[in-house]
Amino acid sequence: MTVSYNKLWKKLIDNNMMKKDLREAAGVTTNVMAKMGKNEHVSTEVLCKICEVLNCEIDDIIDIKKEY
């Protein structure tokens, strides 16, 4: 399965937030943000922190695609 965070990046634009702002507000590391920038998997704990900051659900910030 592959993961895409394109929804998250679009949501940041809509909220006039920079990745740095999200990182600080959610309390996640630069390494986690870098992994997300490469569409790599991160923990559900991180996703929940981000959703709390953005007041959204996980499916609002992530797409999971099956590989065939």
pLDDT at 45: 96
pLDDT for 10-42, tens place per residue?
999 999 999 999 999 999 999 999 999 999 999
Q: Identify the bridge partners of residue 3 per DSSP, sorted by sequence position.
A: 64
pLDDT above 90 for 66: no
Two structure tokens written together for 67: 């590989």
Rounded to a whole number of angstroms, the CA Rg of the chain reads: 11
CB 46 within 8 A of CB 30: no
